[in-house]
């Protein structure tokens, strides 16, 4: 039992968020190098494809005949077991990216120090900030010319609205990078082979004085609540400042947290009752293998292979025998796991996104995962009108699984599907064809700004071409505005109508 307690205290489960090209993959690779998972930089990803660790994952995929292309990296460092959950960006961006952020205990935000806060970082940050979990900032690429450090830190406060506490401070950047100043240990970490520029060092020391006088206080409680972000500078590419970052991160990042159920029970990780929730379901893209994997974040208790659990929503009893973990030392079937870990349960169609599973008798139900506001929309029809039955069944199941969001036009009930990333449409189309044998046709209606309105405030006359009225899967009215201007125009015309955004 003590072993269990120790194990769960050693877990650090996080995701890295960033705008594409800020260096998430490169930093991940450095962290894996630190953990001894890989031995050489450059072995992890097929660069250019921008898929995190795709070569490693593809190998596992082939080996197991399953698709785990975006999942979980696990390694040990300094007595801690680290789980990094991948949050795909680029063309792989989808609601899964957002949902994955519901399954982590902290987040590392990588920002390109030459660019500052970029749109995708801001979007992901906002989702994370709503959860109030710790956020650690890594300003990357200081081996190249960077923007002034004071400006970068200022952007955290002005653009993201989070207070910042620099843990270290850059002394120059690019050609004249001298090193970083570690504010906690009051020492310089010199950049190897730097040509001496004493004036740069002096300038940085002045800035550090300023920070000490006018900057935020170090406040561990504020960090834990996600109100203050510890800030680091470094270069993932040349592995400068990464070790220092990892060390401090592991000191201040939290072990697996408690979770509150819908009936306000607090489930503590140390509990003897096993519980967890499904935050992602990955279908197999290989038509020869129809299985899916439900990704379960363990919240409490120990997982043991073969254990019996209850699927809360249906009350169905399941035996968890066919379970996989990712990049663990043993690539076999996982035997045991603890809170903070992610297990992949082979699923034949029992699970939905947000499902709770638990062992024992006491009912546990975690809150539903939030719905995210989709930004892309397509009208959809079955190519073959004779296949209406499979078409409806397929849509219903895939919507429940969280693959896409379904809307219907207010009049006429045409199907409109919404997503946060283009990939979701492709997955939907592929699965409709392969699993339900229905070819579908999209009619793109492009990107829209979706806002929910209360039914009592709705007048159908408010709808027009520029503000399309639809209903969501719970029959709630939603306006799809052509753009923000159209939304503002609507707001000016109907100032009393409250427009609500999902997460
Ligand atoms: P991402 O996952 O966030 O999209 O970014 P990724 O790590 O793929 O990095 C994007 C580009 O930035 C890569 O260059 C990478 O080598 C470079 N990069 C990452 N970290 C640093 C850093 O600390 N310093 C510098 N100078 N560059 C960095 P690329 O040209 O796209 O690829 P390649 O030249 O490495 O093949």
The CATH number that applies at residue 491 is: 3.30.70.3280
**CB 356 within 8 Å of CB 362:** no
Residue 370 lies in a domain: no
Q: Which residues of 89-110 are buried (b: 16+ CB within 10 A; e: fewer)?
A: beebbbbbbbbbbbbbbbbbbb
Same domain, 270 and 244: no
Same domain, 180 and 241: yes
Same domain, 291 and 186: no
Same domain, 32 and 151: yes
Residue 21 C-alpha to ligand 1 middle, in angstroms?
6
Same domain, 349 and 280: yes
Residue 240 C-alpha to ligand 1 middle, in angstroms?
14
Same domain, 195 and 303: no
Residue 42 C-alpha to ligand 1 middle, in angstroms?
11
Block mean pLDDT (10 aa), the chain, length 503: 84 95 91 79 46 41 38 87 84 84 97 96 94 97 97 97 97 96 94 92 95 93 97 97 97 96 97 96 67 90 95 96 64 77 88 95 95 93 92 91 92 92 87 91 90 94 89 94 94 95 86
Q: What is the pTM of this model?
A: 0.89
Name which residue sits closest to atom 24 of ligand 1, judged by CA. Answer: 141
Residue 365 lies in a domain: no
Residue 48 C-alpha to ligand 1 middle, in angstroms?
9
Q: Is 119 annotated among the ligand-binding residues?
A: no
Question: Which CATH number do you get for residue 106?
Answer: 3.40.50.300
Residue 364 lies in a domain: no
Last residue of a domain, one of 198, 223, 255: 255
Last residue of a domain, one of 358, 393, 428: 358
Last residue of a domain, one of 331, 358, 385: 358
Burial class (CB in 10 A: 0-12, 13-18, 19+), 14: buried
**CB 425 within 8 Å of CB 441:** no
Same domain, 71 and 202: yes
Same domain, 96 and 164: yes
Q: Is 46 annotated among the ligand-binding residues?
A: no
**CB 122 within 8 Å of CB 26:** no
- Enter the tokens of residue 334: 């996982």
Q: What are the distances in angstroms from CA 29 to CA 21, 88, 113, 428, 499?
A: 14, 15, 19, 31, 42
Q: Is the CB of 20 under 6 A from ligand 1?
A: yes
Q: Is the CB of 26 under 6 A from ligand 1?
A: yes
Cα separation, 161 vs 163, whole angstroms: 7
Q: How far is CA 145 from the centre of its chain?
A: 29
Q: Is the CB of 87 under 6 A from ligand 1?
A: no
Q: Is the CB of 472 under 6 A from ligand 1?
A: no
Helix-strand-coil split of the chain, %, nearest 5: 30, 30, 40
Q: Which atom of ligand 1 is nearest to the CA of 240?
A: 23
Name which residue sits closest to atom 35 of ligand 1, judged by CA. Answer: 47
Residue 369 lies in a domain: no
Confidence at residue 36, expressed as pLDDT on a 0 to 100 scale:
81
Name which residue sits closest to atom 28 of ligand 1, judged by CA. Answer: 237
Same domain, 268 and 246: no
Q: Is 86 annotated among the ligand-binding residues?
A: yes
Same domain, 300 and 248: no
Residue 363 lies in a domain: no
Strands laid side by side in the 72-77 sheet: 72-77, 80-85, 11-18, 106-112, 135-140, 228-233, 163-166
- Residue 333 belongs to what domain range? 260-358
Residue 472 lies in a domain: yes
Q: What are the distances in angstroms from CA 128 to CA 73, 179, 335?
A: 20, 31, 31
Confidence at residue 61, expressed as pLDDT on a 0 to 100 scale:
40
Residue 167 lies in a domain: yes
Same domain, 134 and 69: yes
Confidence at residue 281, expressed as pLDDT on a 0 to 100 scale:
86
Same domain, 339 and 224: no
Tell me the pairing of strands 405-409 and 467-472. Answer: antiparallel
- Enter the tokens of residue 141: 């690429």
Specify the number of domains making up the chain: 3
Burial class (CB in 10 A: 0-12, 13-18, 19+), 132: exposed
- Enter the tokens of residue 282: 């990955």
Residue 58 lies in a domain: yes
């Amino acid at each position: 039992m003590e072993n269990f307690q120790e194990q769960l205290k050693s877990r650090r489960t996080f995701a890295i968020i960033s705008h594409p090209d800020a260096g998430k993959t490169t930093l991940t690779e450095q962290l894996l190098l630190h953990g001894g998972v890989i031995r050489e930089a450059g072995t992890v990803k097929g660069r250019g494809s921008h898929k995190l660790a795709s070569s490693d994952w593809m190998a596992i995929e082939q080996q197991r005949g399953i698709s785990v292309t975006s999942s979980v990296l696990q390694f040990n460092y300094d007595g801690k077991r680290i789980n990094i959950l991948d949050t795909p960006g680029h063309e792989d961006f989808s609601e899964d990216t957002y949902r994955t952020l519901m399954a982590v205990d902290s987040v590392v935000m990588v920002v390109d120090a030459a660019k500052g806060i970029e749109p995708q970082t801001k979007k992901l940050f906002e989702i994370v900030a709503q959860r109030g979990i710790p956020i650690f900032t890594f300003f990357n690429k200081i081996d190249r010319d960077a923007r002034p450090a004071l400006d970068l830190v200022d952007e955290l406060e002005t653009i993201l609205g989070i207070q910042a506490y620099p843990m270290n401070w850059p002394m120059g950047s690019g050609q004249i990078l001298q090193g970083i100043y570690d504010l906690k240990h009051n020492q310089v970490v010199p950049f190897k082979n730097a040509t001496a520029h004493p004036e740069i060092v002096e300038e940085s020391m002045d800035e550090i004085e300023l920070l000490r006088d006018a900057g935020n206080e170090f406040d561990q409680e504020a960090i834990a609540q996600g109100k203050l972000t510890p800030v680091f500078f470094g270069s993932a590419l040349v592995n400068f400042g990464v070790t220092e970052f990892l060390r401090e991160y592991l000191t201040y990042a939290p072990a697996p947290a408690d979770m509150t159920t819908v009936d306000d029970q607090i489930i503590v990780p140390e509990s003897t009752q096993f519980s967890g929730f499904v935050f992602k379901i990955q279908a197999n893209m290989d038509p020869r293998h129809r299985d899916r994997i439900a990704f379960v974040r363990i919240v409490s208790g120990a997982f043991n292979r073969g254990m019996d659990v209850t699927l809360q929503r249906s009350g169905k009893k399941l035996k968890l025998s066919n379970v996989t973990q990712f990049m663990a030392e043993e690539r076999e079937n996982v035997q045991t796991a603890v809170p903070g870990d992610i297990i992949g349960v082979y699923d034949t169609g029992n699970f939905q996104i947000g499902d709770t599973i638990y062992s024992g008798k006491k009912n546990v139900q975690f809150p539903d995962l939030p719905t995210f506001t989709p930004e892309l929309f397509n009208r959809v029809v079955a190519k073959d009108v004779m296949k209406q039955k499979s078409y409806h069944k397929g849509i219903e199941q895939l919507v429940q699984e969280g693959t896409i969001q379904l809307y219907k036009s207010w009049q006429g009930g045409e199907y409109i599907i919404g997503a946060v990333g283009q990939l979701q449409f492709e997955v939907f189309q592929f699965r409709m064809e392969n699993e339900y044998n229905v070819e579908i046709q999209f009619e793109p209606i492009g990107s829209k700004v979706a806002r929910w309105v209360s039914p009592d405030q709705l007048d159908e006359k408010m709808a027009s071409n520029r503000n399309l009225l639809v209903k969501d899967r719970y029959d709630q009215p939603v306006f799809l505005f052509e753009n923000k201007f159209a939304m503002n125009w609507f707001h000016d015309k109907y100032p009393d109508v409250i427009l609500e955004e999902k997460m």
